[in-house]
Amino acid sequence: MRVATVRAASRAALAASRGLSTSAPAATDAAASTAGRAFRVQPYDDVPLLERPPRPPVDASRLFTRAPIGAHTDADARRYFELRSDELERSFPEGVGTGVSREFAATNLPALMVRPSALAARRAIDALAADAAALRSASALVLTGARGAGKSATLSYLVHAARSSGWLVLHLPSAHAYLNGQRRFAPLAASRVEISLVAAPADSADGAAAGLGASATELDALFDVPAATAALLRGFARAHETALAKIDTRTSQTQALSRALNSQLGTLADLVQLGTATDAAGADTELCSHALVALLAELAHVTDAPVMIAVDDANIFDRATAFRDPHTAKPLPARSFLLPALLRSAATAGSSMRRGLVLCAPSASLSYHPHETPRAHKRRVRDERARTQSWAAVDVRARGAEPPAAGLTLVDVPPYDEAELSAALSYYAHCAAWLPPAELSAGLAPAKAGAADGAARQVHLLTASRGEAVRKLCTRLG
């Protein structure tokens, strides 16, 4: 009875504060007087909002590095470097991976941490660029690690570093978005251009890059997503506009395509421009598919500059897409589409290039199919491991199940160490993504990374120091 009286008094006080009338004012007043002896009834509008304590100071000069990415050393490790708007457009015209874009949106600041693992991978790539023989034998670098450890951020860092060092980088920031982010797909057989023009030649003299080509029969059975392919080519053109104009075309595919279209395709810039052309309505034409086939064949023969094909969410190329076969209504596998079919696998694509390699990162967050039971998932992964032409096999080998294939170099991306976790918490506090408690502020500076702070230990226990989980926790607490 007493609880009901108190609740009635609270409702009456709230209605009175908002100018509403009650049906029984006398009873309400009596209830309010009775409830007043239990606790003070206060309208919601008069309750003061909780004020945040002042934000603890963060030394931004020690949190960020001003050195350009090409000059990063161990002294810049565990610090952040901010990407200016022009630098972001120049290095990532195709965009960044899903995890990196969420990081930028949460902090409202495009910045990446200089991680020791990324520095080691960048040094390995620079060493390969200086040694032609080593680059020829190393077909692919595969970033491995736990879900949310920072594989996409590391891949973005390496793409930025490679482009700054003069590499030609064909960057696919999300294989999942490439295959599932568009509504329209088209069979290559319906193109008005003869498929045989861009098919891989039968002789090995010009077809040394067989891994980046396909026969006319294979191309005839493939599909493509023209909007996604054209976007990929536009980003590649904007990132390397000057360099592409200096590299001449040399394959028979490009020469045959040039004669058929009666257009001059003397440089890679001309070839990419053909693939980014649109019709009168502004829609992408089917020429982008043929330009992609010819471009991959050209990149396999380029020796003027080192070439990199960077693919994030690479294991999506082993899955089914959201598109359905027009005849059977079954989901089309990713290998029914042009780009996955041409690349075949990381090892095959990398070994097919005379002066290039593949950089890829499998996605652990997209490892399960919708409505897939754990038993079905294990069975499918086991089947994918058995295939030699597989992008998912590299993710399995990283866990020690079996040695990597020839030419594959596994680069482990570990979770944050103690110093990296402290730097990340300082960064989120600086960006106002979260407000650490006062007792945490003293131990957040990178110089005091070794201090075992109580709140930092709690963050580690809640997130296992995985970058994605740390960001989500901080933004939710913010």
Query: Encoding tokens for residue 269?
Result: 């810039």
Same domain, 11 and 125: no
Of 366, 329, 358, 327, give the one whose Cα is nearest residue 179. Answer: 366
Same domain, 244 and 335: yes
Residue 84 is assigned to a structural domain of this protein: no
Pairing of strands 408-412, 140-144: parallel
Q: How many domains does the chain have?
A: 3
Residue 196 is assigned to a structural domain of this protein: yes
Residue 72 is assigned to a structural domain of this protein: no
Residue 27 is assigned to a structural domain of this protein: yes
Q: Residue 242: its pLDDT value, please?
A: 93
The alpha helices in 203-345, defined as continuous H runs, are: 216-220, 226-239, 241-244, 252-261, 268-275, 287-301, 338-343
Same domain, 364 and 432: no
Query: Encoding tokens for residue 259?
Result: 């004669």
- Whose structure tokens read 């296992």? 464
Same domain, 354 and 429: no
Q: Residue 365: its pLDDT value, please?
A: 67
Q: Which of 350, 375, 410 is the last residue of a domain?
A: 410
User: CA–CA separation, 206 vs 213, rounded Å?
Assistant: 11
Do the Cβ atoms of 425 and 162 come closer than 8 Å?
Answer: no
Query: Encoding tokens for residue 37?
Result: 């002896």
Q: Which of 391, 410, 429 is the last residue of a domain?
A: 410
Residue 69 is assigned to a structural domain of this protein: no
Same domain, 350 and 406: yes
Radius of gyration over every alpha carbon of the chain, rounded to an integer in angstroms: 28
Print burial letters for 405-424: b (CB count within 10 Å at least 16), e (below 16).
bebbbbbebbbbebbbbbbb
Q: Residue 147: its pLDDT value, please?
A: 87
Q: What is the pLDDT of residues 398-414, one digit of tens each?
A: 444 445 566 678 889 99
Interacting residues of 396 by C-beta distance below 8 A, sequence separation 6+: 381, 384, 385, 402
Q: Residue 17: its pLDDT value, please?
A: 47
> For residue 128, what are the domain limits?
116-410
Segments of the chain with pLDDT less than 50? 1-3, 6, 14, 17-18, 20-55, 203-210, 368-371, 388-389, 392-402, 437-452
Same domain, 361 and 420: no
CB atoms within 10 A of CB 356: 30
User: CA–CA separation, 227 vs 289, rounded Å?
Assistant: 10
Q: Which of 359, 376, 410 is the last residue of a domain?
A: 410
Residue 92 is assigned to a structural domain of this protein: no
Same domain, 246 and 165: yes
Instruction: Extract the runs of DSSP E, i.e. beta strands, from 119-172.
Output: 140-144, 168-172
Residue 101 is assigned to a structural domain of this protein: no
Do the Cβ atoms of 436 and 455 come closer than 8 Å?
Answer: yes
274 exposed, middle or buried (CB, 10 Å; 0-12, 13-18, 19+)?
buried
Same domain, 310 and 419: no
Same domain, 364 and 280: yes
CA distances from 23 to 5, 10, 28 (A): 15, 15, 9
Same domain, 201 and 346: yes
Residue 362 is assigned to a structural domain of this protein: yes
Q: Residue 202: its pLDDT value, please?
A: 52
Same domain, 377 and 435: no
Q: Which three-class secondary structure state does DSSP give residue 368?
A: coil
pTM of the complete model: 0.78
User: CA–CA separation, 296 vs 191, rounded Å?
Assistant: 19
- For the chain, the first-to-last Cα distance in angstroms comes to 40
Same domain, 212 and 131: yes
Q: Residue 438: its pLDDT value, please?
A: 47
The H-or-E segment that residue 127 falls in is helix 116-130
Alpha-carbon dihedral 174, 177, 179, 185, rounded to 10 degrees? -140
